[in-house]
Amino acid sequence: MRDFEYSRAETLSGAAGQMGEGASVIAGGTNLLDLMKIQVMTPSRLVDISRIGELQGISEDGDGLRIGALVTNSELAADGRIRSGWPLLSRAILAGASAQIRNKATTGGNLLQRTRCPYFYDTAMACNKRSPGEGCAAQEGVGRMLAIFGTSEHCLAAHPSDMAVALAALRAEVEIRSKEGETRCLPVTELYRLPGDRPDLESVLEPGEIITAVRLPAPLADTRQVYKKVRDRASYAFALVSVAAVLEMEGDRIASASLAFGGVAPRPWTDPEAEQALVGAAPGDEAFGKAADVLIEQAHCHPDTEFKKPLLRRTLIAALREATGLAKPATGASTARIPA
């Protein structure tokens, strides 16, 4: 680990004052410290924002909620309002990481976590995200976890967050404060940039901007919310694919569908055409499969991720079956019942 300076900010404006070239904000540190140990990230200064009061807490915001950037994943997932109005978010968070990590990880930090592409993590390998212009070792390498949407010849990395996928399907917004103290809001999906030829630029945050909150719009009455994550083991693994689905029914037809997909793109992936394909449809594997086909038509796969096309298709169908009541959701979301 490289030596670094450490300073603690008590206020947002104080934090802004301490930021500068080579500085990085630290809150939970669950991702940043790992990356510093292996020297994928080598900030010269850490500005600790974890004690800033303005970033704490969940408050009501009209019919919606404002979630402070420092609210931990555990706190957010356990919040009664979230569990009743936006259960998708709670389930997605609990599908990620481990209890210990969720106790430390924050809402803002979760959104800005880095990819887990193993070539990004290995400083002996070329990575444009780590060192722009160096090349992308993943292209000819191995990678079950690589993305299939929104990639480029310069980067195949997937965004690993589960929480962000749920937020995208819930049409949440990110509240951002500039160094000068001005606030702007963006849909979660617009926080991220696709890699193009600059995979190192992952978000649209300007220098000195920090995420202050996530805003959840009012929950739609009677929506069916499902988060379905498939991974290589039952817990503590990143998604091979995940599906967040928010459905509104009108009688026995689907009135609206809001979908987001994880483990498949550099950001929570959305596909308005796939959503549109469900509107007015009667629930059933055929209708679900058609929507899935619209989605996976856009996929560009590395040989190791070809499997994500059938897997994503099937996982979307399974999620929609749960959302529409065709399948009884198994106890504990997507795990089999295990006798005590």
Partner 1 sequence: MTKTFRMDEAQPRLLDETGQGIVGAPLDRPEGPKKVSGRAHYAADGLPEGAAHGVLVRATISRGRITGIDESSVSGLGGVIGVFHGPEFLRNPAQGMAGEAPVQPGDEVHYHGQPIALVVAESFEAARDAAQRLVVSYEAEEGVETDPASASALEQDDPETAGDFDAAFAASEVTLDRSYATAPQVAAAMEPHAAVAEWEGDSLTLRGALQMLRFNKDELADSLGIPAEKVRILAPYVGGGFGSKLGIGPEAVAAALAARALGRPVRVVMTRQTVFDAVLRRSETSQRLRLGADRDGRLRALSHDDRVSNIEGEGFAEPVSQASQFLYGADGLSFAQTLARVSRTPAGSVRAPGEAVGMLALEQAMDELAEALEMCPVELRLKNLPEKNPMTGQPFSATRLADCLREGADRFGWADRKPMGSRREGEWFVGMGMASAARSNMLVKSAARVRLGADGAVVETDMTDIGTGTYAILGQIAAEMLGLRVEQVEVRLGDTSFPGASGSGGSFGANSAGSATFLAAKAIRETLAGRMGCSLSELTLQDGIARGGNREMPLSELVEEELVEEASVEAGDTSESHFSSGFGAHFAEVAVHAYTGEVRVRRMLGVMAMGRILNEKTARSQALGGMIWGLGAALTEEMAHDPRTGHVVTRDLANYHVPAHADVPGDMTVVFLEERDDMANPIQTKGIGELGISGAGAAILNAVRNACGARVYDMPATPDRVIAAMEAAGS
Nearest to 112 by CA among 39, 209, 46: 209
Q: How far is the CB of 160 from partner 1 (least distance, A)?
A: 10
CA 84 – CA 162 distance, rounded (Å) = 19
Coil, strand, or helix at residue 115? Answer: coil
The answer to whether residue 84 forms part of the interface with partner 1 (CB under 8 A) is: no
For 128-180, where are the alpha helices, taking DSSP H only? Answer: 163-169
Residue with Cβ nearer partner 1 (64 or 135)? 135
d(CA 190, CA 186): 6
Residues 309-328 that bind partner 1 (CB under 8 A): 310-311, 314-315, 317-318, 321, 327-328
Based on the shown chain and the rule CB under 8 A, indicate whether residue 100 belongs to the binding site for partner 1. Answer: no
Cα distances from 26 to residues 71, 217, 312, in angstroms, run: 14, 27, 34
Contact between 41 and partner 1 by CB under 8 A: the answer reads no
**Shortest Å, Cβ 97 to partner 1:** 10
**CA-CA-CA-CA dihedral for 277, 282, 285, 289, to nearest 10:** -10
Q: Tell me: does residue 251 bind partner 1 (CB under 8 A).
A: no
Strands 5-8 and 45-48: parallel
Residue 237 or 279: the one with the smaller Cβ distance to partner 1 is 237
The reply to whether 185 sits near partner 1 by the rule CB under 8 A is no
Instruction: Give min distance, CB of 81 to partner 1, in A.
Output: 27
Bridge partners of 225, per DSSP, are 246
Under the binding rule (CB under 8 A), the answer on residue 154 touching partner 1 is no
> Cβ–Cβ contacts within 10 Å for residue 248, how many?
16
Nearer to partner 1, 104 or 314 (CB): 314
Q: Identify whether the C-beta of residue 214 lies closer than 8 Å to the C-beta of residue 107.
A: yes
The DSSP secondary-structure symbol of 54 reads G
Answer for which of 59, 234, 276, 286 binds partner 1 (CB under 8 A) is 234
Query: Which segment (1-9, 81-89, 128-136, 207-215) binds partner 1 by CB under 8 A?
Result: 1-9
Which spans of this chain sit near partner 1 (rule: CB under 8 A)? 1-3, 37-39, 116, 118-119, 121-124, 137, 140-145, 228, 230-238, 240, 307-308, 310-311, 314-315, 317-318, 321, 327-328, 330, 334-340
